[in-house]
Structure 1
Amino acid sequence: MTKAAARIDVEGAGTRVPTEFRYWEHVDDPRVQRARRLFRTVFRFDPQPPDELVQRFAAAYYDADPVAEAFVDDVYLHGPGPKTGRAMLDRALEHGIDAVPEAPESMRRLFAEFETLPDWYDAEQVALGARVFRRWGTAAFSFATTTTLEMYSESSIAKPLSYAGGYAGEAAHKRQLETVRFWIDVTDPGGLDLGGRGRATAMRVRVMHVFIRRKLLQRPEWNLDAWGVPISIGDATLTLMGGSIVPAVGLWTVGFQTTIREIEATLQFWRYVGHLLGVQPGWYPRDVREAVQLMYAAFVKRAHTAGADGAELVESYLPAFAPKPGSPWRKRLRDEVNHRVQIGYTGYWLFPWTYARHRMPRRFPWVLHPLLRLPVNLTLETARRLVPPLDDVADRVQRARRERWYRNETGGRAAEFTPVEEFRR
């Protein structure tokens, strides 16, 4: 099979493993096993997953989104083109698929799947998961991005972003804020209901991902054997973990008291978001134990081969928040404060050796900011738990804070979620 002819249903999918999926090379390393024993002693369960799960996770690097793939091929790549495709998509999202009489069968299949609830869907759990993410406020934005910076060492994650240029250099701020807009839209109350803003955003992001994936597979430098397919189910599932189990645990370090029940609700919520995005692995974690085991496999399998492309993405993040020349003094002041807050959170959560390995701003004294927030958050969280009506107040406050933060960063511009039509290299 030639690179140009490769489709997402690549030969050997289901058993094929990318050469840069190094789990079995690393799992018996004494350092890994020491960490495993320590975790088992403290938390009373084994973080190392069954080998069958690891095999399915590895094979998912050759899985993607065949339903949306067919639509993108029919309309964006071999049909009327991106502009017409976007108009058709917008019309279907606003008025339903029947409002697009010219829709090909592939688009109708896409919307039939999009509008059908999966068997495992639990409305109460999904609503609670969204509420928990809202409660974390803007701290969730900083934490989720910091965990992504750690994973930019992996070529399968860094290369698509680097080739497209969306998260590198001066474009980093725009794309980062599109991600924040996505998080806000899908977690706002009613955001995932039929006709909800988050639901529409999820479809636009899904199509954007497919478009990039199809384009990258045509490029001779994409290493299918080493990395799997671009924006694979394997990597996309880890992104969903970055909105659930990972911040749920990490944000305890700044005072957010997320319970086991709430963590499992965030798993359910992001699983449903993943369903809308076309990320539908049958092995998606059902509880905290399985989520921890997946993240264990994700860290053990790392190859650290992204090199300069990964470093550029890491080093573009914090400068993206620096005040822009010519801004009004009030916005500049807010931007100066927020820039230092981001330095503090990144310096606090990013592994010290990762921070030191890259050209990053000095962490001190800004790294003290999360520590100063800890007693404040801890007090507010305790009050919220002990006085139930305060939970609704906290939800309203955090929703308002998220929108204020976003408006300041964007200057009121709307997120576009448009596919990249030309790569920068």
Structure 2
Amino acid sequence: MTLEMAAAGKIPGEFRYWDKVGAPRVQRARQVFRSVFRFDPQPSEELVRAFGEAYYHADPVAEAFVDEVYLGSAGPKAGRAMLDRALAHGVESVADAPPSLIRLFEEFETAPEWLDPELVALGAKVFRRWGTSVFSFATTSTLEMYSESSITKPLSYAGGYAGDKAHKRQLETVRFWIDVSEPGGLDAGARGRQTAMRVRIMHVFIRRKLMQRPEWEYDAWGVPISIGDATLTLMGGSVVPGLALWSLGYQTTVREIEATLHFWRYVGHLLGVQPQWYPRDFRESVQLMFAAFVKRAYTAGEDGEELVESYLPAFAPKPGTPWRKRIRDEINYRVQIGYTGVWLLPSTYSRHTMPGRFPWVLHPIVQAPIIFGAETLRRTIPGLDAMADRVQRHRREQWYRNEVGDRAAEFSPVEEFRR
């Protein structure tokens, strides 16, 4: 089965929105949303259908390059070398560059018509302001979605987020978040922009490999790492933390949330995630998330359980660690337990084998007034906003280095699946 064989209008069998949207509990939640946000969170039928169909859409431009080079006669190593040279010196520096590479970089280097560089810069700054808290929140929100086979199966088959490898892949994701959100991180030649392309190719490689496997349930799940699921990931770095991090004291305005939406839309564009229906404002983003939660099928089973239960142990101190790092690791491990205990739904936490939440769950609650006070000062005293940005940039880089040392993130395509 190839990606081009998806029939127009096809929606995965596990996209359960229409089966569940009329349920009393969903409509009660809709009323609560309406009272809080002052608008109806239930999206239009047009948006829901476009969202559902996106599970059969992916990245044909990058897929053509992967098919021709990575999975063709050249092989993955030669493909990686070709890509690295084009990123470092321009596609014109690649001798006998294949047409698929030229087309890929034409798209990659052409700014979309909707792009607002100032809004992208503001969105990146807001994301930086959330510091390391957003790393914990974004991953925790993903744990909640590990109930869905379309998200869980690619991660489980590849093995990157399960068992002993979970820590490495999680920290690669953090490196990606840091790179793309640094000032100028998405400019031509910047590390964030190059990271986006490497992650894009990694996703395509996994998708192509999975589509060859007989156990991939195309009719039920759509294509692996689809536009539908990838767009939800972008929401996990914008509107979702923009709302949820108020619980820690961060004072993010609707305008700032919309700036993060625009920032992550551009990151998505560079990643090959380019839906025409991407939310344009706060209202549309809330409506998309409403549809995402309603449509869930909860079929991931043991694979989802493994991914959820691998997350927190990945931060546990390792035997033989020098004592200073071990102290930092012990503290960070319990901080992660606290964040996860606060943000993961209690029913989800209790359903899995997880570390005890108490007393670590009190940590986010205790620090909220401190962060709220600091945010108030930042918003009112000239000069503190720029200082806060510098401090958060330093903190998140130090946090990352404590976890990985001097090891560089690889973003390498998975060549063999664990099963």
Which of residues 4, 9, 16 in structure 2 aligns to 1:9? Answer: 4
Q: Judge conservation of contact 1:185–1:191 (CA < 8 Å) in 2.
A: yes
State the shift of 1:11 in Å: 2.9
Query: Corresponding residue for 1:44?
Result: 38
Return the letter of the residue paired with 1:79. Answer: S
> Structure 2 CA distance, aligned partners of 1:335 and 1:139?
16
Paired residues for 1:109-148 under 5 Å? 109-148=103-142
What residue is the counterpart of 2:416 in the other structure? Answer: 422
Q: 1:30, 1:245 → 2: CA distance?
A: 26
Q: Which residue matches 1:370?
A: 364
- Return the alpha-carbon distance in structure 2 between the equivalents of residues 77 and 42 of structure 1: 50
Residue 350 of structure 2 corresponds to residue 348 of structure 1:
no
> Which digits, 9 at most, give the CA deviation of each residue in 1:210-258, with x for residues without a partner?
0000000000000000000000000000000000000000000000000
Over residues 105-135 of structure 1, what are the superposed CA-to-partner deviations in whole Å (9 max), with x where a residue is unaligned?
A: 0000000000000000001100000000000
- Using the alignment, how far apart are the partners of 1:260 and 1:11 within structure 2? 37
1:38 CA drift (Å): 1.9
The answer to whether the 8 Å contact 1:73/1:79 transfers is no
Distance across 1 between alignment mates of 2:329 and 2:195: 27
- Name which of 290, 294, 297 aligns with 1:300: 294
Offset of residue 42 of structure 1: 2.8
**Residues 207 and 224 in structure 2, CA contact (< 8 A), matched pair in contact too:** yes
Q: Tell me the amino acid that sits aligned with residue 38 of structure 1.
A: V
Match of 1:200 among 180, 187, 194: 194
- Aligned equivalents of 2:295 and 2:380: distance in 1? 42
The partner residue of 1:228 within 215, 222, 238 is: 222
Secondary structure class of the residue paired with 2:363:
helix
Conservation of the 8 A alpha-carbon contact between 2:6 and 2:56: no
Instruction: Tell whether 2:278 aligns with 1:276.
Output: no
Task: Give the conservation status (yes or no) of the 8 Å contact 1:10–1:62.
Answer: no
Match of 2:381 in 1: 387
Structure 2 residue matching 1:152: 3-state secondary structure: helix
What is the CA deviation profile of residues 254-276 of structure 1, one whole-angstrom value per residue up to 9, with x for unaligned ones? 00000011000000000000000
* Structure 2 counterpart of 1:97, from 84, 91, 104: 91
Query: How far 1:64 moved relative to its partner?
Result: 0.1
Q: How far, CA to CA, are the matches of 1:408 and 1:395 in structure 2?
A: 20
Cα distance in 2 for residues equivalent to 1:223 and 1:270: 29
Cα deviations by residue, 1:386-415 (Å, 9 ceiling, x for unpaired): 013100000000000000000000021100
1:413 is matched with which residue? 407
How much is the aligned-residue C-alpha RMSD, in angstroms? 0.6
Distance 2:212 2:15 in 1: 22
- Partners of 1:143 and 1:10 lie apart in 2 by 37
Given that 2:171 and 2:404 are in contact with CA atoms closer than 8 Å, whether structure 1 keeps it comes out as: yes
Matching of residue 213 in structure 1 with residue 169 in structure 2 = no
- With normalisation by structure 1, the TM-score equals 0.98
- What is the one-letter code of the residue matched to 1:400? H
Secondary structure, aligned partner of 2:3: coil
Instruction: Name 2:180's counterpart in structure 1.
Output: 186
What are the Cα deviations for residues 185-223 of structure 1, in whole angstroms up to 9, with x where unaligned?
A: 000011100000000000000000000000000000000
Query: 1:102 deviation in Å?
Result: 2.1
- Say whether 1:261 aligns with 2:217: no
Contact persistence 1:165–1:423 (CA under 8 A): yes
Amino acid in structure 2 at the alignment position of 1:343: I
Q: State the distance in 2 between where 1:87 and 1:38 align.
A: 53
The alpha carbon displacement at 1:103 in A equals 1.4
Number of equivalenced pairs? 419
Distance 2:73 2:382 in 1: 54
TM-score by length of 2: 0.99
**Large movers: runs of 4+ above 3 Å:** none
The separation in 2 between residues aligned to 1:72 and 1:321, in whole angstroms, is 34
Q: CA separation in 2, counterparts of 1:30 and 1:400? A: 47
Whole-Å Cα distance in 1 between the matches of residues 254 and 334 of structure 2? 32
**Residue 108 of structure 1 corresponds to which residue in structure 2?**
102
**2: distance between equivalents of 1:392 and 1:167?**
35
Shift of residue 278, structure 1, vs aligned partner: 0.1
Which segment drifts farther, 97-106 or 148-157? 97-106
Structure 1 stretch 315-324 or stretch 37-46: which is displaced more? 37-46
Q: Say if 1:186 and 1:273, in contact at 8 Å, map to a contact too.
A: yes
Following TM superposition, by how much is the alpha carbon of 1:101 offset from its aligned partner in structure 2, in angstroms?
1.9
Query: Structure 1 vs Structure 2: percent identity of aligned residues?
Result: 74
Q: 1:172-194 CA distances to partner (integer Å, 9 max, x unpaired)?
A: 00000000000000000111000
Report the Cα distance in structure 2 between the residues aligned to 1:373 and 1:16, rounded to whole angstroms.
47
8 A Cα contact 2:146 2:300, kept in partner: yes
CA distance in 1, matches of 2:32, 2:270: 37
* Unmatched tracts of structure 2, length 5 or more: none
Q: Which runs of 5+ in 1 are unaligned?
A: 1-5
Cα distance between partner residues in 2 of 1:230 and 1:103: 28
What is the alpha-carbon distance in structure 1 between the residues aligned to residue 36 and residue 193 of structure 2? 40
Residue matched to 2:72: 78
